[in-house]
């Protein structure tokens, strides 16, 4: 596998389920559909996960566009 610097290395992760942690503390889970050179993301079938103590709930959000500068963490589930 060839290593490509920056967001180009995320191309292999398109159409996989990801967890995204945002700068404002929100947690999103959805299928990565698109990325660009600024790490802007498009998530499909997105849910926002809310944690209260040891319990959590999911709020459906649909298609979600995330500006790259707001992404703290991105990981495949």
End-to-end CA distance of the chain: 21
Residue 24 confidence class, pLDDT cut points 50, 70, 90? very high
Has residue 3 got a pLDDT over 70?
A: no
64-74 mean pLDDT: 96
18-42 mean pLDDT: 96
Question: Cβ contacts of residue 12 below 8 Å, gap of 6+?
Answer: none
Structural domain boundaries, residue 50: 6-76
Distance CA(57)–CA(36), nearest Å, equals: 30
Domain membership flag for residue 61: yes
Domain membership flag for residue 1: no
Question: Cβ contacts of residue 50 below 8 Å, gap of 6+?
Answer: 27, 56, 57, 58, 59
Q: Is the pTM of this model over 0.85?
A: yes
CATH of the domain at 31: 2.30.30.100
Domain membership flag for residue 62: yes
Residue 6 confidence class, pLDDT cut points 50, 70, 90? low
């Amino acid at each position: 596998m060839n290593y490509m610097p920056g967001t180009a290395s995320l191309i292999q992760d398109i159409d996989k389920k990801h967890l995204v942690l945002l700068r404002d503390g929100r947690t999103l889970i959805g299928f990565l559909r698109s990325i660009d050179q600024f790490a802007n993301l498009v998530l499909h079938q997105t849910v926002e996960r809310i944690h209260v103590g040891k319990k959590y709930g999911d709020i459906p959000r649909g298609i979600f566009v995330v500006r790259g500068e707001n992404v703290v963490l991105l990981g495949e589930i």
